Amino acid sequence: MIYPFHSPLGPLSYAWNGKLCRHIWLEQLKTAESAQDDPVAQWLNAYFDGNISPLPPLDKPATPFQAKMRAELLAIPAGTVRTYGDLAVKLGTSPRAMGQALGANPLPILIPCHRVVAANGLGGFSCGLAWKKKLLQLENAL
């Protein structure tokens, strides 16, 4: 099921099947479902209140590379950033390929791809640079 979540930074939606979070969209999708008090909503509430809490159960990464990338992203503390190049070196790929892989992250915020920036600026963000800026500002990383 897809549920709405009203964050202080704007509306978002997430897919929760009762066991796993499968996707997060940084936009309000049309859905007949109402807001929930499930592990995803609880985590998002804690995050937007500035609290770190254990992640809700997440859908598994699709590939071994995505699993490695997820582990590296989760190792970036809130309030800090890494560059595409830094992450690419750790994962044995190019910065451009790293950016493409990050753009395919189905779980933004939960898997903090917004904490990866270009060497000379913000870089890109599949959900839009406005969201990336707001998330980094929320975490005091800008």
- Active-site positions read 113
Strand-pairing partners, residue 32, are none
**AA letter at 87:** L
User: Which of 81, 140, 92, 109 shows the shortest CA–CA distance to 7?
Assistant: 109
φ, ψ dihedrals at 48, nearest 5°? -70, -15
- Cβ neighbours of 3 (radius 10 Å): 18
* Both tokens assigned to 86: 């830094």
3-state secondary structure of 52: coil
φ, ψ dihedrals at 73, nearest 5°? -65, -40
DSSP 111-128: S-GGGEEBTTB----TT-
